[in-house]
Chains A and B, each alone.
Chain A
Amino acid sequence: MPGTLLKVAAKSAAGPDSGLARAADRYLPPTPTNVSDAERVVSLGVGGALLLNALAGKHLNLLSGLAGGYLLYRAATGHCPGYQALGLSFANGTGPATAVAAGAGVKVEHGVTVNAPVEEVYRRWRDFERLPDFMTHLQSVKVHDDKKSTWTARAPAGMTVRWEAEVVTDTPNQVIAWRSLPGSDVDTAGSVHFRMAPAGRGTEVRVSLKFDPPGGKFGSFVARLFGENPDQQVRGDLRRFKQLVETGETPTVEGQSHGRR
């Protein structure tokens, strides 16, 4: 996976979290990726050879040194100033493979393994009113009876999105599925499957979520519900779910001390 490795070289670990992004920015110039992975590998190889030549040659060859450095820069950052000047981009697609935006909706699927018995994991998820503990976009879930509940999600500018949900399948320790009822702000359906992982490795939890907002409003609804990236949001939710079930808390450094920034 040369692409992955090059991302290491480029320290391209910056997430959208502002503080971290700032730290990572020191290592990663804020330039768009417009060089494909394959081309970055070639840049790395040729650039390295040129640079070594320039360093090790009998005569210091300034030109190939500069060219080598330039290609290495492209390889490391995935950014080519030349391409940018020409308005070209050959970057590989960066969208998450599992968040399939199809027609009217968006679908996200993810899995996580939780080191706890399937009964406990199922029970924790089935406790809908505690979903907001790990689904950070949810403000509250109010359970009315075995089947019906009201979900309220946070949206920008203090607004909220609300829908009535109905459990359509509930097989203890195996699957829970739900969908929103007509008249809601958003059409949504979701399911979560539980399965014992092999040889005492805990419980595999697989979530599938689908949103079909009313026509025309697709973009704004999804953005409201999930921020920029629904895929990241669901991954984060599952990570927090695992942390909560396994450790009883979510690890944090928010609110700790530090010196002058």
Chain B
Amino acid sequence: MKAVCWRGRASVEVETVPDPRILNPRDVILRVTSTAICGSDLHLYDNFIPTMMKGDILGHEFMGEVVEAGPEVRNVKTGDRVLVPFHISCGRCFSCSNQQWSLCDNTNPNAKLVEKIAGYSGAGIFGYSHLYGGYAGGQAEYVRVPMADVGALKVPESLTDEQALFLTDIFPTGYMAADNCEIRPGDTVAVWGAGPVGLFAAKSAWLLGAGRVIVIDSVAGRLRKAERDCKAETIDRREKDVLNTLDEMTAGRGPDSCIDAVGLEAHGATVVDHVLDRGMQMVGMQSDRPPVLRETILACRKGGVVSIPGVYGGLVDKFPIGSAFAKALTLKMGQTHVHRYLRPLLARVEKGEIDPSFVISHRLRLADAPSAYRNFRDRKDEYIKCVLKP
């Protein structure tokens, strides 16, 4: 089969590799019908997540048709069209039983590695480095899905692939980011990043009762999208000082909650900041660039919530813990518990409350992956979300 393989920094290739096969009783094999490139994939592409190996198959947002099912899989059968959460969860451990699915105790075969870094390991993730289990991803013609009896969800006939696909990751991610904000009616929610996750967070903030949604970015096409499709007010951070503008917009209160939908590759507020943060990243003093994290903490109102769906992988410098403490902020973060949101959000899509396909900017072939990665990373040509058709 053909698969998108990681070859090193800023290099992916579509290679011919052996077809996947069933390895465990709860596995299924899917013929992938649609797959997407995520902002998280860019962290791998830019080589910020350690333990990638040449030849690793990428991709954690995918759906497809079941072509083979292991003996323990009874919820789906050959021929079913299913979608699959980006993280693999057993459904039976303490974490899964407590709705903290992305923290599953059992699905990372390399948990030992993570334990050295974090103490304890969360779930394995498709196509997301050996630290996250080394599972082959779904930017391929076929993919092996472990624990499919818990993960794979049959998609209703009435929905197209494009309407269902983002339930695997970015829609639940934006939704959980907003859910973590514990929004009360009338709240102002500020979202850093107008990428797919930021856009879904903005939409979800409305669904959860926000009174006002403000989106911050510097890419004009994305800000337009936030205004048009997410009814957000926007701040172009190249034109305005973000902290002052938010303070003015909220008449000196600050946003009730702030969402960091950017993560470890954020651009600094000033050129000097950016060069310093990058420099420290290069010499290994910090693995992540935290300018957005710092800004969310400084901007948030007293007693508010900072919600962090943006991915961080290691250490940062100058984390304003004193400001967070002084304002008694709540910080919430982590990989999304997709299984927790899957069915309720699917129901919202079926009822027509939201059509997730609004984020799609490009529809391409699997073979186009190398240029799609490059253009998405460079924010070229208003690339917002690429769907690949194997």
Does A255 lie within 8 Å of B23, measured CB to CB? Answer: yes
Does B388 count as interface, using CB distance less than 8 angstroms?
Answer: no
Q: How many residues of A contact B (CB 8 A)?
A: 53
Residue of B nearest to A243 (CB): B106
Q: In the complex, A46 Cα to B23 Cα: how many Å?
A: 50
Contacts of B132-151 to chain A: CB distance below 8 A: 133-136, 140, 144, 146-147
Does A103 count as interface, using CB distance less than 8 angstroms?
no
Say yes or no for B182: interface residue by CB 8 A criterion.
Answer: no
Select B18's contact among A236, A239, A243, A257, beta carbons within 8 Å.
A257
Contact A261 B54 (CB under 8 A): yes
Contact B23 A260 (CB under 8 A): no
Does B113 sit within 8 A of A, measured CB to CB?
Answer: yes
B53 is contacted by which of A22, A201, A252 (Cβ under 8 Å)?
A22
B17 to A257, Cβ gap below 8 A?
Answer: yes
A148 close to B (CB within 8 Å): no
B92 within 8 A of A: yes
Within 8 A of B (CB), among A1-35: 5, 7-9, 11-15, 17, 19-20, 22-24, 26-27
Residues on B with beta carbons closer than 8 Å to the beta carbon of A113: 94
Q: Are B24 and A252 in contact (CB under 8 A)?
A: yes
B78 an interface residue at 8 Å Cβ cutoff?
Answer: no
Residues of A within 8 A of B19 (CB): 257
Q: Which residues does chain B contribute within 8 Å of A73, judged by CB atoms?
A: 284
Distance in angstroms between the alpha carbons of A73 and B276 in the assembled complex:
18
Q: Mark A222-261, 1 if CB is under 8 A from B, else 0.
A: 0000000000100110010011001111111111111111
Chain B interface residue number, banded: 35 or more
Contact across chains for B51 and A23 when beta carbons are under 8 A apart = yes
Give Cα A239 to B47, complex, Å: 30
**Given A72-B283, A253-B133: A259 and B276 interface contact (C-beta under 8 Å):** no
- Take A246-B105, A247-B90, A255-B23 as given contacts and tell me if A261 and B18 are in contact as well, using a CB distance cutoff of 8 Å: no
B120 to chain A, nearest CB (A): 11
* A51 interfacial contact with B, CB 8 Å: yes
Cβ–Cβ contact A12 & B283, under 8 A: no
Mask: chain B, 113-139; 1 = CB below 8 Å from A; 0 = not: 110110000001000001101111000
Please tell me which one of the listed residues A13, A235, A250, A259 contacts residue B117 in the complex, with CB atoms under 8 A apart: A13
User: Across the interface, do A27 and B24 meet the contact criterion of CB distance under 8 Å?
Assistant: no
Q: Quick one: closest A residue to B314, CB to CB? A: A8
Tell me if B225 counts as interface (CB < 8 A to partner A): no
| In the complex, the 10 A-B pairs of residues with the closest C-beta atoms, listed nearest first | A259-B5, A259-B55, A259-B15, A13-B113, A247-B90, A258-B55, A257-B17, A249-B24, A23-B51, A23-B53
- Can you list 11 A-B pairs, Cβ within 8 angstroms, ordered by A? A19-B130, A19-B134, A22-B53, A23-B130, A26-B50, A202-B94, A239-B111, A246-B105, A247-B106, A251-B24, A256-B135
Given A20-B113, A242-B105, 20 more pairs with CB closer than 8 A: A7-B117, A8-B117, A9-B284, A11-B51, A13-B113, A14-B113, A17-B110, A23-B52, A24-B50, A44-B285, A72-B283, A76-B284, A243-B106, A248-B26, A251-B109, A257-B19, A257-B57, A258-B56, A259-B3, A260-B55
Chain A residues close to B by CB (< 8 Å): 5, 7-9, 11-15, 17, 19-20, 22-24, 26-27, 44, 48, 51-52, 55-56, 69, 72-73, 76, 113, 115, 201-202, 232, 235-236, 239, 242-243, 246-261
